[in-house]
Amino acid sequence: HITVAPELSERLDTRVFVHPGDQMLWNQTHPGVGHEDLSDGQVFDVAGTRLRVVNTPGHSPGSCCLYLPEAKVLVSGDTLFAGGPGATGRSFSDFDTIIDSIREKVLTLPGETEVYTGHGDATSIGVEAPHLEEWIARGY
């Protein structure tokens, strides 16, 4: 997703935000291109909707979800998919870390929270939470 960020930013006349944990990925794909830092707990107001940044390392060190508390929605990106944790097959990914992020920062949200993933079908916290130990046992 980081690959097209500068082009998308230019087309939409908006800024790019990158969590410092992903600076190495940014430097690999866009050396010398600026961005603003994204931080855990940072809040954005977009069209009257509050978005809170939740740093969820695992897919990458700087992976983040966006939580919309009033709407009870989580945009999980590559942290949580329907049926299990997000992708951890890259050199900068770590399965145990993504599990910790999901356990401590994602599955603590209300069960009725809808989850819009970076790939595949939408789900909810209530649907996914009972399966955490199964994911750990299978290793993905």
pLDDT(111) > 90:
yes
Question: What's the pLDDT score for residue 53?
Answer: 99
Question: What's the pLDDT score for residue 1?
Answer: 77
- Boundaries of every domain in the chain: 1-38, 39-138
pLDDT of 27-59, one tens digit each?
999 999 999 999 999 999 999 999 999 999 999
Single out the residue of 68, 44, 41 nearest to residue 55, CA to CA. Answer: 41
Mean pLDDT of all residues in 90-104: 97
Question: What's the pLDDT score for residue 75?
Answer: 99
Residue-level length of the chain: 140
Mean pLDDT of all residues in 68-88: 97
Q: For 39-138, CATH number?
A: 3.60.15.10
